[in-house]
Structure 1
């Protein structure tokens, strides 16, 4: 299973004393759990916002990537712009920006350590590209040395575009090679904030190709299409959730190349409505509390799992979606980013997001009803032959790395 994405926040033509002057404090030791919880709450809220604007469409994006790109904007924001981003990113727990930056660093370091010697790959990288004319604050360069790149954007627009695309391609293992199209930046562009992520995981219980058959898939609009439906009988963590009125199944990825190894902290979570329930009704009840409860209450049971094999690519312009979530000030001409530069007025011109996923028998690169029969003498059946939601979820950090809604197979590859 392969997933990859890139997100770019483009700013046409400032770090404050708070970020520059504060030193680490005792509160920072407890920052990471708050950081994780806020990230989870933001992710579920973004899924709801995108769902409401994409009725009857397939959806796929990375809330993790979007959150981290917006964090870069938060680190540079001041005044009302900072307050707005803090609310939307659920950072009310933090006494200072430095506390958030500390949690941000701990999260990145932890992911690097966990990535060693594993077939499961998840990489996420952040970059802030500034035009050479922007005079950056000295503490910005010190605290974000790895993320900052200064270029002559004004005189080398095409070269800048290609350099950013090359960086995105490298992070996503060449899965996304042309994130920025000609015209996405111009000579007035002063700053580009970017995040790129890549995921590749192997199921701990791979599906067998010989058990994949064309089967009917029933959309919410009443149409029926044939899809390649993978099938296996294995033991998975599963929960029949009466709050959501959905079955929640966790399909773990493996931690090593050895047979019989333990499941990793990262799983694909399938949220499949009960037979008499619509996916939209389930998603209106999905929030950080109901999601965590469904995952926590899961029990290992033998089930017959049937899941479509699919590829999905989606490009989203997130400006209008972020406004619906409460991010408005950063797009206005009077936005305040004095923590980036005290000499240049900056506001966000665009937010672009591109994500891909491939789900097959090996894993992920990131009028029929649901059949759940608790009286069935064999394995319980969970058949994804109608719209469902899915997450690539990291249990340790409570992070939704990627998420999507499978509604209509006819619009996929």
Structure 2
């Protein structure tokens, strides 16, 4: 089997023309092979990564929550499993917005609930680095060593025939740590697609093996912007595997399915939460700085999620213990976001006659051809593993009382940090079977 380095070298060999790009080349700081090894050139503005603006983080998280609430209402049916990473989607769209101008830029910022893109960029830079600092070794309850993984990576893949504006590359390098691999969409779109998928698979530990399906890019593609997010963490107090039993889960349509149900008790570290539209629980991961909040909507799933993702909703305090019963489950869900984003008002970006991405390049008139998203989530007795990737393809225009919570009907989940309530992953478990 080829190593990741050898595979990228083989994929890079498909390139023919020398790159013509307006920025400085350097080695990839996160481990992809340099140009001398792979035949791929990484183009990146010669600037240091910004520490960002910590004072802007709260507004970034609030905007992310509002955007996620809007998007949620446009995707999926209440009878379907659903999973999204608002953090990943917002990051990929914000990177793209830095290349937009005029009405296209205004629509993108309105959909993202962003007042100032420069402030949002700085807040994203600070938030990304704060979240990265939450990862690392932890001591488990049984005395063994464990690890929390939380990584986010941003990358551009640009056609080597294009000249990209230095200011565009500079802001993405400075605020998002993103460089650009020059690939050959024009003459070898399939080879370029393989490179994008290979990079994304590597950044998500192979949980998102193919963010760009066959046909997603072609000779008209000029740029693909990708965010990849990976998370894995053990529960603060694991569920006892011996206590897991088969039990009925009640689907929205009234039918039931037998699934493995995990059982916690009120002496654990989960705390009870209650809002106007839900009853739920926060289950901390071992570090205490990350958690999963689960919520049984009282009626309206949209209203419950809006309440959770509203400012302060995921950071509300509670001291009431709760015994949680929930299914063990795993799924991977692809979502085409073009239609939902257009329904939210992001129309010009997809219109080859009206899109304005002149801040990216002056070579050609560009438009967004697709926004593709995938999320993987696995929950078991030990903890949670989740990954997400978002690709934007740009083409030429041409303690008090204890409680019990039994999650045996469709419920919501949010994986988030406990300081800001950043919605890393949100979803609905409609059928864990």
What is the TM-score when the length of structure 1 is the normalising length?
Answer: 0.80
What is the 5 A alignment of 1:116-127?
116-117=136-137, 119-127=147-155
Report the number of matched residues: 356
Contact 1:42–1:90 (Cα < 8 Å) also in 2: yes
1:326 maps to: 345
CA distance in 1, matches of 2:247, 2:308: 34
Pick from 353, 356, 359 the counterpart of residue 379 of structure 2: 359
Does the aligned pair in 2 maintain the 1:248–1:295 contact within 8 Å? no
**Corresponding position of 2:361:** 341
8 Å CA contact 2:280–2:405 kept in 1: the answer is: no
- Counterpart secondary structure, 1:385: coil
Residue number in structure 1 paired with 2:392? none
Deviation at 1:183, TM superposition (A): 2.0
User: Quick one: distance in 1 between partners of 2:252 and 2:349?
Assistant: 37
Alignment of 1:67-86 (within 5 A): 67-86=90-109
- With over 3 angstroms needed to count, the CA separation of the structure-2 counterparts of 1:302 and 1:395, relative to structure 1, is closer
1:187 maps to 2:210 = no
Give 2:121's match in structure 1, choosing from 101, 113, 117.
101
Paired residues of 1:208 and 1:231 also in contact (CA < 8 A): yes
Any idea what SS the aligned residue of 1:247 has? strand
Alignment of 1:235-314 (within 5 A): 235-241=269-275, 243-244=276-277, 246-255=278-287, 263=288, 265-273=289-297, 277-278=298-299, 281-287=300-306, 291-292=310-311, 294-314=313-333
> Any stretches of 5+ residues in structure 1 without a counterpart?
1-14, 21-26, 256-262, 367-373
* Aligned positions of 1:385-404 closer than 5 A: 385-404=408-427
Q: 1:200 to 1:215 in 2, by over 3 A?
A: same
- What does residue 84 of structure 2 align with? 61
Q: Is the 8 A contact 1:40 1:288 kept in 2?
A: no
Counterpart position of 1:174? 206
**What SS does the corresponding residue of 1:77 show, helix, strand or coil?**
coil
Provide the secondary structure at the position in 2 that maps to 1:169.
helix
Q: What residue is the counterpart of 1:42 in the other structure?
A: 67
1:384 aligns with 2:403: no
Structure 2: gaps of 5 or more residues: 1-21, 23-44, 46-51, 139-146, 387-399
Q: TM-score scaled by structure 2?
A: 0.77
Q: 1:87 to 1:157 in 2, by over 3 A?
A: same
CA contact (8 A) 1:130 1:190 kept: yes
Moved more, 111-120 or 33-42: 111-120
Which region of structure 1 is more displaced relative to structure 2, 166-175 or 393-402?
393-402
What do the CA deviations read for 1:264-311 (whole angstroms, capped 9, x no partner)? Answer: x211110113xxx43xx1433542577555545442223221010001
Does the aligned pair in 2 maintain the 1:39–1:67 contact within 8 Å? yes
Which stretch has the larger CA shift, 224-233 or 392-401? 392-401
1:216 maps onto 2:241 in alignment = no
C-alpha RMSD over aligned residues: 2.3
Partner of 1:259: none
Name which structure has the greater RCO, CA cutoff 8 Å, separation 6+: 1
Which deviations, in whole Å up to 9, do the C-alpha atoms of 1:203-260 show, x marking residues without a partner?
001001100000011112110111100001124221222x11x2121001112xxxxx
By how many angstroms is 1:44 displaced?
2.2
